[in-house]
Amino acid sequence: MGHIKLTKVNKTFGATIVIPGIDLTIENGEFVVFVGPSGCGKSTLLRLIAGLEDTSSGKIEIDGNDVTRAAPAKRGLAMVFQSYALYPHMSVYKNIAFPLKMAGLPVEIIDRKVKDAARILNLTTYLDRRPGQLSGGQRQRVAIGRAIVREPSAFLFDEPLSNLDAALRGTMRLEISELHQQLGTTMIYVTHDQVEAMTMADKIVVLQAGVIEQVGSPMELYNRPDNLFVAGFIGSPR
Ligand code: ADP
Ligand code: MG
């Protein structure tokens, strides 16, 4: 599960057309990166998929179900917010357990899922700490843990590493790629960083002003850019 299909998805704020009309299919298990300059509509597109914004027109399907008007919680997706969205007064354990507690799951099941996620993320020895007692990378892993326990059909990331310093960004890039390999779950990752796009993606979606300029693997975009914008943005030599 984790197949996502957008058909003629349009988003208009007042008189401003942010996304004129996007057609896009994301296959189950793919790591898809939305890349493009600031203000091109990456976050808006992700929020439309998550259900945090309503589409103005068009259709969104997840695993064959029309979710265009479905509430976020009904879509089976998990948005990974930046690490500063953690609850500072709660332990790592409680931060990760939070969505499961809200869903009313029995404590024993919550405990197993939190410990499984902590093991995957190397957080087992940090469960009693508070976010303020963790490094930036560990905090980001807690934010990911909070998504993992929900066992979503896709993870949605919006520039999750933009708060971190360059060295840590490199480490976290690898960790998220490894997590994708381990879980095999669809991931949609928004960034304005070409290096992140080129190193992490199975499929890159290049956006400019709410329009898809090209979709392809990193190698395809690098070797055969459709236009100068893609060539310039991805950094191929022509
Ligand atoms: P990106 O994530 O690529 O930087 P955004 O999706 O945040 O871009 O924004 C795309 C465009 O949509 C921008 O011009 C932004 O000002 C506009 N926009 C985003 N959200 C709103 C909103 N709630 N109301 C009006 N305009 C918005
Ligand atoms: Mg954004």
DSSP string covering 86-140: S-TTS-HHHHHHHHHHHTT--HHHHHHHHHHHHHHTT-GGGTTS-GGGS-HHHHH
Ligand 2 center–CA 109 separation, angstroms:
35
Alpha-carbon span 35 to 29, nearest angstrom: 19
pLDDT in tens, 192-234: 999 999 999 999 999 999 999 999 999 999 999 999 999 988 8
pLDDT in tens, 87-112: 999 999 999 999 999 999 999 999 99
User: Which atom of ligand 1 is nearest the CA belonging to 14?
Assistant: 25
Look up the ipTM and state it: 0.98
The protein residue whose alpha carbon is closest to atom 5 in ligand 1 is: 41
